[in-house]
Amino acid sequence: MPLTASESLSLDITLPGRICRLGGDNATGKTYFLETLRDAVEAIQPDETHRVNKWLKKNIKIINSYSDEATIRVLKNVKCQLIAIDNADYVFHDHPWLPDHITYERNNQWIIISKTQIEGLGVSGDCVGVMYFDEDTHTIHSSYGIS
């Protein structure tokens, strides 16, 4: 659900590594987290005096299993981006070159959201979190030692 003009959103996200994986059961808020991030980026109003806003709007990419082929192919050439991939299990199935690309390229920050562990992705244990939903609260718990 997009933000209205009267709403505001503050996100304070710390990513401990270049590749971070977020897992969790169905309906725990993984996609909601990315939709909120996407809505926040879309709500940014760039202007000449706010270079950071311009940079954010230009340099955050949200990819999911519905993204078209051209959008996914562009990932081979982007630099200095925060790229979030929702339903990565499906995206990687359709684009088997992508996990290796993410593992070996060093120019971007990645958030990988998947229900299952992605083999060969190169995510260190301190960069894995699990999303939980309890009552009205979404939380992310670090899963140290899981890769």
Question: Tens-of-pLDDT digits for all 147 residues of the chain?
Answer: 555 555 665 666 777 888 888 888 888 888 888 888 888 777 766 665 566 666 667 788 888 888 888 888 888 888 888 899 999 988 998 889 999 999 998 899 999 988 888 877 878 777 887 777 777 776 777 754 333
Residue 12 lies in a domain: no
The answer to whether 119 and 125 are in contact (CB under 8 A) is: no
Q: What is the pLDDT of residue 144?
A: 47
In a domain, 11, yes or no: no
The whole-number pLDDT of residue 146 equals 37
Quote the pLDDT of residue 133: 77
Query: Does 3 reside within a domain?
Result: no
Count up the domains in the chain and report the number: 1
Q: Please check whether residue 20 is in contact with residue 128, taking contact to mean a CB–CB distance below 8 angstroms.
A: yes
What pLDDT is attached to residue 147? 36
Give a yes or no: residue 147 inside a domain: no
Mention every residue, 6+ apart, whose C-beta is less than 8 A from residue 87.
Answer: 31, 64, 65, 113, 114
Residue 1 lies in a domain: no
Which residue segment(s) compose the domain that 67 sits in?
Answer: 19-142
DSSP tag of 49: T
Which one, of 144, 94, 138, 86, lies nearest residue 112 by Cα? 86
The edge-to-edge listing of strands for the beta sheet with 19-23 is 60-63, 82-85, 109-113, 19-23, 128-134, 137-142
114 belongs to a structural domain: yes
Q: Of all helices (H) and strands (E), which one includes residue 94?
A: helix 88-94
Whether residue 125 contacts residue 133, with contact meaning beta carbons closer than 8 Å, is answered with no
Residue 13 inside a domain? The answer is: no
Give the residues across from 110 on adjacent strands: 19, 83
Residue 64 neighbours by CB under 8 Å, 6+ apart: 31, 34, 85, 86, 87, 91
Q: CATH number for the domain including 97?
A: 3.40.50
Q: Is residue 8 part of a domain?
A: no
pTM: 0.77
